[in-house]
Amino acid sequence: MEASILARRVGRFKWYVRAVATQVVRVTFTVEPNYAGWRLDRYLQEKIRRLSRERIQHLISSRLEAEGGRRLKPSTRVQPGLTFALLKDQEPEPETPLDFEVVHDDGALLVVDKPAGLPVHPTARYAAHTFTSVAKLRFPDRKVDPAHRLDRETSGLLACGSAPEVTRVLKRDFAHGRVAKTYLALAHGAPAEDRFVVDAPLALTGASAVRVRMHVDAAGLPSTTAFEVLERRTAPDGAPVALLACRPRTGRQHQIRAHLLHAGLPMVGDKIYGPDEHIFDRFTRREMTDDDRARLRLPRHALHAWKLELPHPVTRAAVALEAALPGDLAAFWDACERARRIA
């Protein structure tokens, strides 16, 4: 058989294998009231910040389905309640931890200890391997819905309603500051004070190679975090490391991580706000180096949702919950202690 014919057939076969392995996933959006009147492309750019406006416009033209077959354009002005879906080719998902411990469950309020690496909601790379997908299988007779966000790499307490009316109350309590959240973080550096507050407005300025990176900016949204140093130790390589309790008084994206960087205490393992923001770009392209890993010290950012204090969404009784520092962060912290003792 001629080499050129064989090459074409092999190429077609490879395309067929990729097509069979690839599934089309519908990512659904429902426009919230605060986006009324926005252009559709601006709305989606706000929701999928890693994509350029040109890419968003292409997706609207070629990969968008609206209810009732309505045709939407990039310039369409969205209204609350508008529901549509983007179609995307879903490659095999990365392996993630799919099990989680139930910390509290009374039939209305469900609080779990989310493992690091498990996304809460579907994203471009994750669909079935998410907390919400796993929760549907684990609790098929309930509508479990998280009332707040935790980043994929953040471990710890995640509060959920078990019915829409319960979740609405929970989300309102979070939005109105009636929930006290305390996180544990491991940070590079030696804080000068045992207690300090970072009061610095945050915004997405576009001044970074990482689209989702927040910056301290005078024109940003008010953002305040209180920090308490629980202990200071020395990492195995001799660098100072601190364990901090972090109490956000506002709820901005990446707030604790951005405020720690602003305080000169970048979080251990943080690919965006750590020693070099370009590490995140290399991570997404699967091109991280051994030097990157050594500088990060941990394969994920060292943030754990430790404590929650909130009014019960039905009874309004006070609920206080806690999740211990997970094994990976505890092992790193123990290694720091051993390094100090040897020294």
Q: Which residues are catalytic?
A: 151
Give the CA count within 13 Å in the CB-facing half-sphere of 230.
12
Instruction: Quickly list DSSP for 133-194.
Output: HHHHHHSTTS--EESS---TT-EEEEEEESSHHHHHHHHHHHHTT--EEEEEEEEES--SSS
For the chain, the 3-state helix, strand and coil shares in percent, each to the nearest 5, are 30, 30, 45
Q: Looking at the chain, which runs of residues are DSSP E strands?
A: 23-30, 64-66, 83-90, 101-105, 109-114, 145-146, 155-161, 180-188, 195-199, 202-203, 215-216, 224-234, 240-248, 303-311, 318-322
Question: For the chain, how far is it from start to end, CA to CA, in angstroms?
Answer: 71
Q: State the pairing for strand pair 101-105/64-66.
A: unpaired
